[in-house]
Amino acid sequence: MKKVALYLIVVAVAAACSSKEVREDAPVGDRSTAVPPTTAGGSSSTTRPTQSASLAPGNPLTDPNSALSKRSVYFDFDSNAVKDEFRGLVQAHTRYMTDKRDTNIRIEGNCDERGSREYNLALGQRRAEAVKKVMTVLGVSDGRIETTSYGEEKPAALGHDEASWAQNRRADIKYRGE
């Protein structure tokens, strides 16, 4: 419990001290183009101004150059801890929701096929709740975020190997009306 409280304090302090830039440390994808994060130094860093995400022509939620077009937060095996490499993504969505007060989201927790149906539903819910917790700590009202779990029922990849399982261990951010 102390570890969770410390994590939340660190996230809150980081948010309070953050600059006007969103840093993406690893590639992420939505359900149709899900690409699991690389963990062995294969990721490249890019930095984009937050303002461009909210002021981009058209819809920043569908602009592939916007951090907001990325909707999946990936997790390690049997874990519901939001990894450091996805904090920027969650912060970008939090800022968007702070700017657009009429926006509501649903966070859908997912798991790979390993584990019982009941366990995977519970783990998927914990993953969705973990992303929600980060967003609420950063200032989004609890009532604007719905969470649900699909367990292993909605895989992004149908393979039975680690690469496929890595794509299925995720929480997807869905904006209402999409």
What tens digit of pLDDT does each residue of 1-50 get?
556 555 556 555 454 444 433 333 333 333 333 444 444 333 333 333 34
Q: What gap in Å lies between CA 76 and CA 125, rounded to an integer?
A: 15
Count of the separate structural domains present in the chain: 1
* 101 residue type, one letter: R
Q: What gap in Å lies between CA 149 and CA 120, rounded to an integer?
A: 8
What tens digit of pLDDT does each residue of 143-176 get?
999 999 999 999 999 999 999 999 999 999 999 9
Phi, psi of 90 (to 5 degrees): -65, -40
Q: H or E stretch including 128?
A: helix 117-137
Q: What gap in Å lies between CA 145 and CA 176, rounded to an integer?
A: 10
Say which CATH number the domain at 23 has: 3.30.1330.60
Domain of 146, in residue numbers: 2-37+44-175
Say what the pLDDT of residue 58 is: 77
pLDDT band at 86 (very low <50, low <70, confident <90, very high): very high
